[in-house]
């Protein structure tokens, strides 16, 4: 759903730098911390922990610790978190269709001002 929506200088942003990417990673179901680190390979464990904590605080996802050995912790979108998928899809569709135009306008502006 969001695979071809690469992050970039899009004017539409969902949450902080990682929020939308975490939501995209969780939209098919619960994931463990290590399962989020793989697709989000640029994120440090510290930043991922902070992002997940902020999203849990805002009611966008839940953190469930299962009393197993070794312990298992899963993150899952709440109904509220899932409700962001729709505006995210709209933002993603916009970027797919128009981001090239923004970058083109910027490049044209650069070449005008540096000439």
7 is a site residue for a copy of itself (CB under 8 A): no
CA-CA distances (angstroms) from residue 66 to 55, 80, 103? 20, 23, 46
Measured in residues, the chain has a length of 115
Shortest Cβ 14–a copy of itself spacing (Å): 5
Query: Distance between CA atoms of 115 and 25, rounded to whole angstroms?
Result: 44
* Residue position matching structure tokens 């071809």: 4
Shortest Cβ 41–a copy of itself spacing (Å): 23
- Which residues make up the interface to a copy of itself (CB under 8 A)? 11-15, 19, 56-60, 80, 83-84, 86-87, 90-91, 93-94, 97-98, 101-102, 104-106, 109
């Amino acid at each position: 759903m969001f695979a071809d929506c690469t992050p970039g200088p899009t004017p539409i942003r969902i949450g902080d730098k990682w929020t939308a990417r975490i939501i995209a990673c969780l939209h098919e179901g619960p994931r463990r911390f290590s399962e989020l680190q793989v697709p989000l390979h640029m994120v440090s464990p510290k930043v991922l922990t902070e992002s997940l904590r902020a999203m849990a605080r805002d009611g966008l996802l839940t953190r469930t610790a299962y009393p197993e050995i070794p312990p298992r912790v899963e993150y899952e979108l709440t109904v509220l978190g899932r409700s962001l998928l729709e505006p995210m899809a709209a933002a993603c569709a916009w970027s797919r269709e128009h981001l090239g135009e923004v970058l083109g306008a910027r490049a044209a502006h650069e070449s005008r001002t540096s000439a």
